[in-house]
Amino acid sequence: MKQTYSFLLFLLVMVLASCSDKNDPDANPTQGVKPVPKGARKINFVVDGAYDLSKTEVHSIMDSTLMGSKDEGLWVPKDYPSAAFFLDNTSGQILAVVQTDTVSEKVLVNAESVAQALLTLVPAYHSLTIEQQGNFERNAKSVRAFQDFVLLVDVILKGKRPIYSTDPAFAGKLVELNSYILKNVLGEPNLADGKKMRRVVKQFKDWLPQKGGGALVNQVHSYVYAEFVPIGGGNTVSTLIDPNPIHLTQWASKPLSELGLKDDYYTVNLNQTHEKATSKNFYELSSRLVKALMGAIFGRMGSESRNDCVAAIAGSIQVDVTATVMELAGGANLSALDMFKKVVDTAMNGVLAGIDNKGCTTILMNRAVIAKAVVSQTNALLKVLEGIAFAKDVTELTPFVLAHIDPVVMSNKMQVYKGKLVPGWVEFKGMASSVQPEYVVSSEVRPVVETKVISSFDEVDLGQFEATWIVTSGNGEILSARTPTNSEGKATNSWKLPAKAGTYSIRADMLDKEGNDMQGSPIRFQTRATDCDPTQPNIPVISDISISCGGTGLYFDISFTAGGPGISAFSGSGYCEDTLSSCYPVRLYYSFTNQPDNRIAYNSYTASLLSGTVNKGVVRIYFSHPFGACSRLPNLTPREFLAAGYPPDYKFQVQLINKCNERSALVSL
């Protein structure tokens, strides 16, 4: 049904089709001395000798005259292009139409000039820019489809038949022209198999690309209301995004920098059902409909009075067109024919009323002929549309209809940081494993702030943030006041603990441009420093290591002695690669040929006191073997089983550390 609606609404381009059954008002040529209309200039016509237009009435929007009369000059607008219509003085049918410009004193009437004036019957022609239309008209002689159309127009002119023909051959030539413009001028914009009206983009990142700091880029050909709602409260920032041009010579975009967005977290709503978008799209639909309808009569550009007239007509039909479109969008239970009649009748009455609007009466002095021309042109257009399966896809009117029948309604989250778009929300927290609960006094600690993406609609650059570190007096020293995040979103600093035992803390602030905390900020790190006397070392001593099978791995039972505070009889957990720190105090190292330096086998084992005390006893390491239980290779000793799970150059060593970070010698397994 949506395709039917789009097709029907496109027919509004020439909404006076059903006027053809009405009696046209008389349009009698002016006789005698004619007053000079305001804003007019006089032209004369040079008719090709192959055609007999000697006893026709010639009409512009301002004036009428008889061809062959003593004074057959015609007043036309001097400030904008328009059209002149040649009417048979017996039947009242339009036999020819030509464009009038703002310069020429004599206008040539031949098959080519008439064919050029009839280009307004080609749906795709209305999707061209003014520059593209001009280029096409200037180069038309080299276009085969146009020359074929000229030959047909030549036959119609010679036969003195109505130039707005409803003959299938006439419509067929216009269909060929439509196809040519689509393929060779527009490059088939936004069409998929000739049937897709608009580019449907479901990915939010296409609407808010990050390039250049971020921008709103419209992905449809109608107005979209966008609003940025701060998550924590505050003023909502909103804007209307201009329609994306069908001819795609440029994208309709609005840089975020122009919106004055503060650094903050936002919910972004793109909504064509908002009253501001609805009103604007309805007005644009009405305005473009009138411009398309009056295009041959008014030309592409005009004076202030011409533009005022277009606006007046658009305003007069907007309410009724709005009501009809809303009824169709609501799924009115009508047949296709009934819907067509309803739309046409609605627009017809509005346009007729608009032509008589006081904003138009000063320039539309020949309104009866205007009505006749529109009726004739519409009848011909309807035949053209019957032969164009995708005419609905190329008119610039259809998107403003679909804005109500199939509106864009999207929502997502984004953040602005230092004036640039972050395509989602991020929060910050301290990496728990980066600061242990206890250290030896004067130890160097490396606290880490992590960036976590809460939600996103595109890839978030994690390396764009910065941590500001705060340490109060007596809590030690930090290496840098500010540190950036790396590509993984981690900001690290070096924190030197005081030489005195106690509990100490520092703070990391993740601030936006305005100096406000972002989510998760501030982040606090706290630890204890223990007092160890380096002049009285209590270095642990390993006396023996036995290896046995157990569970799905191996037991390493380490016999030891240690004076003073004894060993720290646990393994630790989490990430730890700093071999100089006291993490994993019951430590298992590994190395191999290509990595000769010992590495801590963190997260691969556990350790606890098996017997005795922290000063003398046995501490057990439970190591998960890649093969599982020893029973998998029953013929091997535990040591052989350990070696079987790794390449020959792998080497394992153990070490015991006390809370003062005093270490035993390394002992190989």
Q: 580 and 617 in one domain?
A: yes
Residues 559 and 641 in one domain: yes
d(CA 171, CA 387): 7
Clarify whether residues 549 and 526 are in a common domain.
no
CA distance 635 to 333: 84
The pair of structure tokens assigned to 198 is: 């608009």
Domain boundary among 530, 560, 584: 530
Strands 651-656 and 667-668: antiparallel
Question: Which tokens sit at 426?
Answer: 């991020």
Whether residue 30 lies inside any domain: the answer is yes
Task: Determine if the pTM surpasses 0.85.
Answer: no
User: Among residues 370, 392, 414, which one ends one of the domains?
Assistant: 392
610 shares a domain with 461: no
Three-state SS letters, 112-145: HHHHHHHHHHCHHHHHCCHHHHHHHHHCHHHCHH
Q: In this predicted structure, what is the pLDDT of residue 303? A: 60
The single-letter DSSP state of residue 110 is: S
Distances (CA, A) of 335 to 4, 346, 453: 10, 16, 51
**Residue 350: what pLDDT?**
67
Q: Do 433 and 382 share a structural domain? A: no
Determine the 3-state secondary structure of 101 from DSSP: coil
Q: Is residue 511 part of a domain?
A: yes
**Would you call 653 helix, strand, or coil by DSSP?**
strand
Of 209, 285, 210, 202, whose CA–CA distance to 243 is shortest?
Answer: 285
Instruction: Give me the number of domains the chain comprises.
Output: 3
Concatenating the DSSP letter of every residue in 470-535 gives E--TTS-EES-SEEE--TTSEEE--EEPPSS-EEEEEEEE-B-TTSPBPTT-SEEEEEEEE---TT
Strands (E), 118-233: 215-217, 224-230
List the domain range (segments joined by +) for residue 443.
Answer: 427-530
Question: In CATH, what number is assigned to the domain containing residue 521?
Answer: 2.60.40.10
Which DSSP string corresponds to 602-639? TTSEEEEEEEE-SSEEEEEEEEE-TT-SGGGSTTS-HH
Q: Residue 250 has what pLDDT?
A: 56
Q: Which of 91, 29, 31 is nearest to 58 (CA)?
A: 29
Report the distance separating Cα 338 and Cα 343, nearest Å. 9
Residue 181 DSSP one-character state: I
Final residue belonging to a domain, choices 372, 392, 412: 392
Coil, strand or helix at 12: helix
Residue 601 maps to a domain: yes
Do 42 and 6 belong together in one domain?
A: yes
For 27, the token pair is: 């349009």
pLDDT at 25: 41
* Residue among 422, 583, 431 nearest 508 (CA): 431
The amino acid at 215: A
What the block records as the tokens of 182 is: 């689509």
Alpha helical stretches, state H, 271-366: 275-293, 295-298, 304-329, 336-355
What's phi and psi for 407, nearest 5 deg? -75, 155
Residues 455 and 515 in one domain: yes
> Looking at the structure, do residues 61 and 186 belong to the same domain, yes or no?
yes
Q: Is residue 291 part of a domain?
A: no
**First and final CA of the chain: distance in angstroms?**
78
Structure confidence at residue 79 (pLDDT): 83
List Cβ neighbours of 180 (8 Å cut-off, separation of 6 or more). 143, 145, 146
CA distance 165 to 168: 9
1: β partners: none
SS (H, E, C) 40-86: EEEEEEEECCCCCCCCEEEECCCCEEECCCCCCCEEEECCCCEEEEE
State both tokens at 665: 């010698």
Q: Is residue 65 part of a domain?
A: yes
3-state secondary structure string across 341-402: HHHHHHHHHHHHHHHCCCCCCCCCCCHHHHHHHHHHHHHHHHHHHHCCCCHHHCCCCHHHHH
Quick one: tokens of 589? 């190292």
Task: Report pLDDT for 388.
Answer: 59
The pLDDT assigned to 218 comes to 87
Helix, strand, coil % over all residues of the chain, rounded to 5: 30, 30, 40
Q: How many Å apart are CA 433 and CA 576, to the nearest integer?
A: 8
Cis, peptide link before residue 596, omega less than 30° from 0: no
Contact 447, 525 (CB under 8 A): yes
Considering the domain architecture, whether residues 455 and 576 belong to the same structural domain is answered as no
Is residue 507 situated within a structural domain? yes
Alpha-carbon distance 606 to 622, whole Å?
A: 5
Answer yes or no: do 600 and 489 share one domain. no
Tokens 């169709």, residue?
A: 328
Are 588 and 480 in the same domain? no
CA–CA distance, 567 with 661 (Å, rounded to integer):
9
Low-confidence stretches of the chain (pLDDT beneath 50):
1-27, 30-31, 190-199, 249, 335-337, 340-341, 389-394
For residues 123 and 158, membership in a common domain is answered with: yes
pLDDT attached to residue 125: 83
Local structure of residue 307 (DSSP, 8 states): H
Task: Report the largest interatomic distance among the alpha carbons of the chain, rounded to a whole angstrom.
Answer: 131
Instruction: Give the dihedral of Cα atoms 572, 574, 579, 580; nearest 10 deg.
Output: -70
Whether 271 maps to a domain, the answer reads no
- Whether 141 is covered by a domain: the verdict is yes
Write a three-state SS string for 388-457.
CCCHHHCCCCHHHHHHHHCCCEEEEEEEEECCEEECEEEEEEECHHHCCCEEECCCEECCEEEEEEEEEC
